[in-house]
Structure 1
């Protein structure tokens, strides 16, 4: 059966049932109530829009996110998923729930419960780009730090969400808790669309939840799966009390995405709560690619085998020992990336997407990530992967977290430098010695700086500008 829309897919999967779709602190929303709210919202929104129009979505209420997504799908409006805390002056039409930015005079209230208002900001940039009706745009900084709009069709979203739901076993008897932001593709597909398609009761927790909050929400929901960020698992691992957060012990599985989990973090979480912990490798462009089960003693560069329906290769080579750019092909690939005046196609003529990640293929299956092609540090002509150096540092028993970047060097052009978060005081010389026995000489950090914390984005990517001064 060909599904015409997200609304059709959720409706056909849930069947207008009285089963719980979304649980909030105020009320439980059945699938019937959620779909009815989406229909009412679509009726109120239609006079303000035409099919193909773009509307930015800035909401923190998960019910508002679900209603707006399904309602905009009905009227074939393109949704731009934006951080709800972004400035209150986004161009074009903006849908918001009034929780971060209060409604202003002249805004149209397009739904009462949950509250949804339509604000008309300044005009969108004059661009000839026409998006597919009902498309979704997710903004990702990737490896450059500059936001890029990734255009995903309904077809690719459905393929991705169904793939994830099947792998994780979502269903009416499989409640899900998500603490991943819904404006990110990961949180949207794993923590909203996937559960709705499978009829799994969903409870959302704030992305900045501390362990005690996650413990309470998971326990109250009777959740089988937790969708969360690396920072959440890092906080759980840092809790010294082995008996803390017993509410998580009912989980069957948990998923992390955005950045690799430290070996110590993985082993602590798995040992304490005895759950199947999966690391997701994927992106806004590719959707879910792998879900590797972690035990805590594996190489953090290993990301597992491609999910069913996803093909992977390295460059043009069929040699499994070759290191090169990882290429992907699947039904969940995005349509393209937005530029100022066009949408750049994502794939080549054969349907392959170049990820920009350096990788090796294992036999008989599986992928090892080496690092980002664009992030390679050029040390006197020798290429160093920051990810490889970070993996070596975090294998030291006293290192909780690490980030490596390039610093200018008069003799070699660039050298790697590192910041580390330590579990206990450790001499820098010991860390350097650890690296020297495990890395090529040009890959050993020139400097290692212990810090209290490494700033990371909501999805776990390290935020550290390269040093301006030359390393000494």
Structure 2
């Protein structure tokens, strides 16, 4: 019996010809696969010269671009765990991240905040950038070195989004990333002629795995623009993009931009993917009507190295309001005692499989609460149909409890978004002396409407107990750095 050794992250990149791998529209820079292979070898050698070894924790602070991609894969080739951090963090936030993650080396692209935070935490720091299509690390010499990565080694340290509680650190191994990457590449039929636009930040598992790793593993091209809705559709046309993936809020912004154009955008998109937050059915339909490309909703979490389920590409059934069927993992809703609930009944969604991690880092209490026998409880409430399509109801801690009635914020948001004047909607619990909690909503308009009109609109679509008791119109809804709505901040924002 032949035992196949799983590849390392460095070994995912097998192409080595002149086909473009990484493209930067603003500078016109294009890195071929041959140049990328040389850059990865040289970067790994330079990291070795800096003393980066197996088991080290390397923070990466840089804007989306080739340097960040190369640094991540080079760190994996050294057997180190990378911790990509949001370059917009201030000094205090960056210092806290470095300290919490116990970073041993920091690479940055000239960030003053990163350099200051490194000095305060006594973390060795080096600047990085691109010159002659090769990663430069303080101009120190470094010869190519053998791939020291291991499929079982920690490859990525990421914090959870913390939308309902204090963020936890997720230790993702190379094998988890490889499993998730393979599922995405296979499920969407990615190939060497595909071109994707990278619009998600690479300090988030969505952009890093779905956009970059899945594309490079199949020999396609990743375009790394500075994301701007005003130029996005021009970039899609000029680079011949065949797909991209983003959160629903970004799809909404791009849809708005497309509707502002004198004619429908030119494109070669064979599909568009939505993940990391619920996709309202209304947005799904509006997007497809305008863009004329299939929009496919998927479901992912950091703890599963991203994707856990997806609706399939046409001609298979894409079922609106669901996140599709399991991809590469088992999915089952559980009751409070970790027992599966029957098909069609609500339970807390749990997953297990090769992409799923087995613990939180240095947090035994959170690990005990969320992991058991290979299963991970996601914190999402959902139900499975008899044929395996998963419908999400809401986060366990985001469901609104009105006198014992549990209300899904997603259902109320769908009702609000069905009004033609509503561009965005977010629903949250409002404390109430009589009912415990009532439904509150904030909306962003794209036309004329009053809170009273919007409440009346919901009355035709929702049971009385689900209707918003408070509707607030805002110029924008606060979101995190990856585009997720920060529901826990909404009550305080409205109260001001």
With structure 1 as the length reference, what TM-score do the two structures score?
Answer: 0.86
1:47-446 equivalences in 2 (<5 Å): 47=49, 48-88=51-91, 90=95, 91=98, 92=103, 93-98=105-110, 108=126, 113=131, 114=134, 116-117=136-137, 133-144=153-164, 146-206=166-226, 208-210=227-229, 212-239=230-257, 240-241=259-260, 243-244=262-263, 246-247=265-266, 249-286=267-304, 287-292=306-311, 301-307=321-327, 309-315=328-334, 316-317=339-340, 319-339=342-362, 344=367, 348-446=371-469
| CA drift at 1:421 | 2.0
Q: Distance in 2 between matches of 1:150 and 1:396?
A: 39
Question: 2:109 touches 2:129 (CA, 8 Å); kept in 1?
Answer: no
User: Any idea what SS the aligned residue of 1:235 has?
Assistant: helix
User: Any idea what SS the aligned residue of 1:194 has?
Assistant: helix
User: Any idea what SS the aligned residue of 1:159 has?
Assistant: helix
Deviations 1:252-285 (A, max 9, x none): 1111222233444323321222112112211111
User: Any idea what SS the aligned residue of 1:338 has?
Assistant: coil
User: Any idea what SS the aligned residue of 1:250 has?
Assistant: coil
Return closer, same or farther for 1:185/1:66 CA change in 2, 3 Å cut-off.
same
Return closer, same or farther for 1:402/1:300 CA change in 2, 3 Å cut-off.
farther
Q: Distance in 1 between matches of 2:438 and 2:464?
A: 11
Greater share of helix: 2
Question: 1:98 touches 1:117 (CA, 8 Å); kept in 2?
Answer: no
**Cα RMSD over matched residues?**
3.0
Q: Distance in 2 between matches of 1:110 and 1:99?
A: 10
Q: Distance in 2 between matches of 1:342 and 1:116?
A: 41
Q: Distance in 2 between matches of 1:84 and 1:346?
A: 32
| CA drift at 1:59 | 1.6
User: Any idea what SS the aligned residue of 1:356 has?
Assistant: strand
Q: Distance in 1 between matches of 2:458 and 2:114?
A: 52
Q: Distance in 2 between matches of 1:85 and 1:346?
A: 32
Question: 1:314 touches 1:323 (CA, 8 Å); kept in 2?
Answer: yes
Q: Distance in 1 between matches of 2:200 and 2:228?
A: 10
| CA drift at 1:153 | 0.6
Question: 1:358 touches 1:373 (CA, 8 Å); kept in 2?
Answer: yes
Range moving further from structure 2, 185-194 or 355-364: 355-364
| CA drift at 1:333 | 1.0
Range moving further from structure 2, 335-344 or 454-463: 335-344
- The residue that corresponds to 1:5 in the other structure is 8
- The residue that corresponds to 2:21 in the other structure is 21
Question: 1:408 touches 1:469 (CA, 8 Å); kept in 2?
Answer: no
Q: Distance in 1 between matches of 2:343 and 2:189?
A: 31
Structure 1's unaligned 5+ residue stretches are 119-130
Deviations 1:433-458 (A, max 9, x none): 33334333332221112222222224
Question: 1:379 touches 1:412 (CA, 8 Å); kept in 2?
Answer: yes
Q: Distance in 2 between matches of 1:346 and 1:153?
A: 21
- The residue that corresponds to 2:46 in the other structure is 44
With structure 2 as the length reference, what TM-score do the two structures score?
Answer: 0.82
Q: Distance in 1 between matches of 2:280 and 2:399?
A: 21
Q: Distance in 2 between matches of 1:209 and 1:111?
A: 22
User: Any idea what SS the aligned residue of 1:363 has?
Assistant: coil
Range moving further from structure 2, 335-344 or 442-451: 335-344
Deviations 1:394-414 (A, max 9, x none): 223332221111122122222
Deviations 1:314-341 (A, max 9, x none): 1133521211111112211124222468
Q: How many residues align?
A: 450
Q: Distance in 1 between matches of 2:307 and 2:431?
A: 36
Q: Distance in 2 between matches of 1:388 and 1:139?
A: 28
Return closer, same or farther for 1:396/1:265 CA change in 2, 3 Å cut-off.
same
Return closer, same or farther for 1:161/1:69 CA change in 2, 3 Å cut-off.
same
